[in-house]
Chains A and B, each alone.
Chain A
Amino acid sequence: MVNGCGGPAGFAGACIAGLLVFASIFAPLIAPYDPVAVSIIDKLMEPDAAHWMGTDQSGRDVLSRVIWGSRASLAVAGFAVLIGVTLGVAIGLFATWVRGSWLEQAIMRVLEAVSSIPILIWAIALVGIFGVRDAQWGPFIVSSETKLLVLLGLLYIPTLARLTYVSALGEVGANYVAARRLQGVGELGILFSDVLPNCLSPVIVQATLLLAIGIIVEAAVSFVGLGVQPPTPSWGNMLASGRDYLISGEWWLSVFPGAAISLTVVAFNLLGDGLRDRFDPRHSTSMGYAT
């Protein structure tokens, strides 16, 4: 179990990440209070036995809001990665398939151009352009959260597509692929049966690290008011509204969502690094040195 995550650090990351996912799924059962129930009498109460993380300026329970906020943060980060992995891997494989042609060159140049600008900058710029109100995309009514996660997912594509492409290119040159060609297996068949499974490991590692980036982007975008809209709690918008109270001494408003962000990012990074170690081929051929 511990080895499956690449050691104790990776295992710790997996545990924390698992706990967070659990909390976000079962938020309605776990959260002690309604996260949006306003109660002016209880406003700005310090953490105590009734409210472990205190209450905010509208008297809402901070702990409940942090738990519910994990929903928004993890949903955005998670679905974005799902979109990114699906389309990124597909495009990466497609570029490998058409290698040697102008199409391959065109795809790779575009991907490189997009990834030359950091994701955070892209996200803020694009959300700014598309606005924060619910929009009508075709038959769908799209909330600002959904817009954010779709945009983020699209922004993940270049990283994942290039990663897939590079590892797939390494695989198609291998002799076992040549052996499959000699068996008369078609190029597309080889891509799916041999190449794809062998280049997924780095993609999974990268996806885990992108989850952490997604949390940060969601927080940053919500912090500047472009992401998840109040009153729905998200760690980013909680941080933004707690900002004004830091100077007057109500530290719990910003410290707890801030800590949640840090903890999640650290957890996913630990897990990602652990998985990287785990997938390192040297672990399976430890005797390779003694020649």
Chain B
Amino acid sequence: MRQPQSVPPKPLLHIDGLRIAFKAGRQWREVVRGVDLSVAPGEVVGLVGESGSGKSLTALSILQVLPPEARIAGGRIVFDGTNLVGLSRKAMNKRRGRDIAMIFQDPLTALNPVIPVGRQIYDSLRTHQTIGHKAALERIQELLEMVGIRHPRERMRAYPHELSGGMRQRVMTALAISSNPKLLIADEPTTALDVTVQARVIGMLDRVRRDLGIAVLFISHNLELIAEICDRVSVMYAGKVVESSAVETVFETPRHPYTRQLLRCIPRLDGASGPMPTIPGLPPRFDSELVGCPFAPRCDEASDRCRAAEPPAWREPGHLAVCWEAA
């Protein structure tokens, strides 16, 4: 299958014009409205946005585990040369958990509470791979050491509730990478954790992906965190990618006012006082009609043109911004 636009190197995951509709009463409303996104092998791509921006739905649609009220309304999700949209359940199950793995904000819901964590990794290994009993046990130890769990032999016997939040996220990651996936989707993996624990889990993720060369799609609302581990970043607002580029570019020369304002809002340890910078207003409700640029009502640079018509995409090699003022 040929890619409509080649992004060197050949992307592992290429999302093209993805639209997701959500059921609101009797109507279907598009909450993801044409998202393009690509992840190259071994690359870490950040997806950032406020709640309701559609970033999590985008992630869930890759594995096709959308909630029942949501469905893919259009576009393609090409993974490793295969369009995942419209793939049979059986073919999708083969990919899920093997080629693509996912870790969640709350690992407790993703781990079986009544089975020791080692056993869960063991079961996953034996179902996805042809591996003997002894080899599997050795592999579990190796995996747990890789995610920074000391004394893996003892920890294997623990039940999920006996582990701390940070430990659980490590176990979840070990489980996710046990099948040697090509892509790891991390949906707000540290949001529920304390900062000190978050720092260690991020360090662990960074090392794991370096050691194994796994591509990571990292979803977070925390731009600072994204900057620490991602190579490229896409900023989503109201169901669309509004800016996308290398992480340095987005931080140093952002072209979209939303990105700029978002960067300004992050509370920093610089000793500043006085009112905190904010973005006035609220993001549009998912069931409201959008006219013009959806960010225009909150934008400090908006003109009449922004309120009247949807902005065009401004492109430069490796940099995209969807804004009238970007050019």
Contacts and interface: CB of A to CB of B under 8 A. Distances in A.
Check A-B contact in the complex, CB < 8 A. yes
Interface of A: 286-287, 289-291
Contacts of B57: 289-290
* Range class of the B interface residue count: 10 to 19
13 contacts: A286-B23, A287-B52, A287-B286, A289-B67, A289-B69, A289-B70, A290-B22, A290-B31, A290-B51, A290-B52, A290-B54, A290-B57, A291-B52
A291 B57 CA distance: 8
Contact of A286 (B22, B51, B52): B22
Nearest to B286: A287
Nearest to B57: A290
B56 A287 contact: no
Secondary structure type dominating chain A contacts:
helix
B23 A290 contact: no
B110 interface: no
A291 B51 contact: yes
B232 to A, nearest CB: 23
B24 A291 contact: no
Interface of B: 22-24, 31, 51-52, 54, 56-57, 67, 69-70, 286
Contacts of B51: 290-291
Nearest to B53: A290
Which of B31, B51, B69 has most A Cβ within 10 Å?
B69
Contacts of A291: 51-52, 56
Contacts of B286: 287, 290
A287 B20 CA distance: 13
Given A286-B69, A287-B286, A289-B69, 17 more contacts: A286-B23, A286-B24, A287-B22, A287-B24, A287-B52, A289-B56, A289-B67, A289-B70, A290-B22, A290-B31, A290-B52, A290-B54, A290-B56, A290-B57, A290-B70, A291-B52, A291-B56
A163 to B, nearest CB: 24
A289 B22 CA distance: 10
A49 B31 CA distance: 60
A286 B25 CA distance: 9
Contacts of B22: 286-287, 290
Contacts of B70: 289-290
